[in-house]
Amino acid sequence: MGKLLILDGHAVIHRAFHAVPPMASGGQQINALYGFYATLIASLEKIKPKYLAICMDPPGPVFRNEEYLAYRSQRKPAPPELRSQFPIIKESLQAAHLPLFSVGGYEADDAIGTITKKALKRISKKTKKKLVDEIYILTGDRDLMQLIDDKCSLLMPGRGMSDLQITKSEQSIERLGVTPDKVVDLKAITGDSSDNYPGVPGVGPVGAIKLLDEYHTLDNIYKNIDSLPEKIKQKFIDHKDDAYMSQRLAQLVFDVPLDFKLKDLKYSKKTRKNLIAMFQTYNFKSLTYRLEGKHRQDSGLKKIAPPKVDENQQSLF
């Protein structure tokens, strides 16, 4: 059995762009490209996965936009310096033959959820044992905390690009106030300003957490609606449609049309050689040394202050 590492591509790229100082090659900004691979290597060093996958948001609208036209409508376009790097990053992934998943109409989060569920079901024909026993998702997106369980953990960036924190159920409680199984219903009540869906206006995180501690689910809150204080009760009555719409928008889907074999996700010596060849193209010496297992030159990334990421910027690939 082995570990599977899944990268939330856009989350890593956006963070890298804001964390790494401007650097150029031939007049083209490549700081996001460099930071993306620096973070990838840090995660490879920490997790030592047998399998690797990268998921990206597709261009254009997703099915959630059909459900709610205002979904993510307030997000600002990515700055030109970042937009220009997306094609380069895509080309670099293809050059290194890294498994990239981006499906029209679905967000990267949905692809991540689908791969997670499918990978945990794959069985070896020879040994009849599961091929994957642990999954780690590299992301800064708290929405993905809904996937956390005893087989799946998040790998979330800390103060530096190489500072990656394993996030399990207890960290979900620390960060959001609820266990992973309640993340979707928490978002259903509080809404999400980043994704621009409403929840139940006037009920904030503290109130929502108290309600979920007592009633556990959104359904149970509505089943016990008469037990709520009158003021809160009326808000839930007035915004029932908003609450359930927000719940649907927050919930990942696990049936994205992805057809893959785990052997295609294998992180092998050949994959490492492909990455090294690509790094040499961009003269990423410190990344090459790290991947070769040689003396690691100081890239300076650990000295960089935590990035200020604008959650309202649009992603595109």
For position 179, what pLDDT does the model report?
A: 96
| Amino acid occupying residue 169 | S
Cβ-contact 12, 93 below 8 angstroms:
no
* % of the chain surpassing 90 pLDDT: 80
Q: Name residue 134's beta-bridge partners.
A: 3
Q: Using an 8 Å Cβ cutoff, are 54 and 6 in contact?
A: yes
Task: Say which amino acid occupies 215.
Answer: Y
SS3 130: strand
CA-derived radius of gyration, the chain: 21
Band the pLDDT of 310: cuts 50, 70, 90: very low
For residue range 70-118, what is the model confidence (pLDDT) as tens digits? Answer: 999 988 889 999 999 999 999 999 999 999 999 999 999 999 999 999 9
Per-residue pLDDT, averaged over 259-282, amounts to 92
How many other C-beta atoms are found inside a 10 Å radius of the C-beta of residue 65?
A: 15
pLDDT in tens, 244-258: 999 999 999 999 999
Cβ contacts of 54 within 8 Å, gap of 6 or more:
6, 7, 9, 93, 98, 99, 100, 101
Shortest CA distance to 316 belongs to which of 66, 9, 88, 86? 86
Percent with pLDDT over 70 in the chain: 92
Average of per-residue pLDDT across 186-198: 96
| Separation CA 116–CA 55 (nearest Å) | 12
pLDDT for res 209: 98
Region 139-158: mean pLDDT is: 93
Mapping DSSP to helix (H, G, I), strand (E, B) and coil, where does residue 122 land? coil
* Lookup: tokens for 209: 């957490």
CA distance 141 to 189: 18
Cα separation of 174 and 156, whole Å?
A: 14
> Which residue, among 226, 252, 222, has the nearest Cα to 239 in the 3D structure?
222
Name the 3-class secondary structure at 123. Answer: strand
Strand, helix or coil for residue 26: coil
pTM: 0.90
Domains, the chain, ordered by start:
2-169+256-303 (3.40.50.1010), 180-250 (1.10.150.20)
